[in-house]
């Protein structure tokens, strides 16, 4: 039983670490975007992954179903927008 709890804590800390890493990366890319507008697609990709990881974190750690769905939809929309931006449609 103790081993299962230890694995869950390890998994939760990994998810929180990923969320923190993507949040810091998004802030850094936001600063780059303010300086130079050509980094829009990087900002959209980073925001998309941050939203998806935040949604997964909410689902696993806090058991918030509806907010998780909102985060996933926003993340997928941002990733789709970044693909459209890269293609240039």
Predicted TM-score (pTM) above 0.75: yes
Residue 25, pLDDT > 90, answer yes
Average pLDDT of the chain to the nearest whole number = 88
pLDDT of residue 42: 93
- H-run or E-run covering 36: none
Phi, psi of 64 (to 5 degrees): -100, 100
What range does the domain containing 14 cover?
2-87
Say how far apart CA 53 and CA 72 lie, in whole Å: 8
| Model confidence pLDDT, tens digit, residues 53-81 | 999 988 888 777 788 999 999 999 999 99
């Amino acid at each position: 039983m103790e081993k299962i709890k230890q694995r869950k804590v390890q998994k939760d800390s990994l998810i929180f670490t990923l969320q923190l890493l993507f949040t810091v990366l998004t802030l850094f890319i936001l600063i780059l975007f303010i300086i130079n507008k050509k980094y829009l697609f990087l900002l959209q990709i980073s925001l998309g992954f941050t939203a998806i990881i935040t949604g997964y974190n909410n689902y696993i750690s806090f058991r918030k179903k509806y907010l998780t769905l909102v985060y996933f939809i926003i993340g997928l929309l941002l990733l789709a927008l970044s693909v459209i931006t890269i293609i240039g449609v």
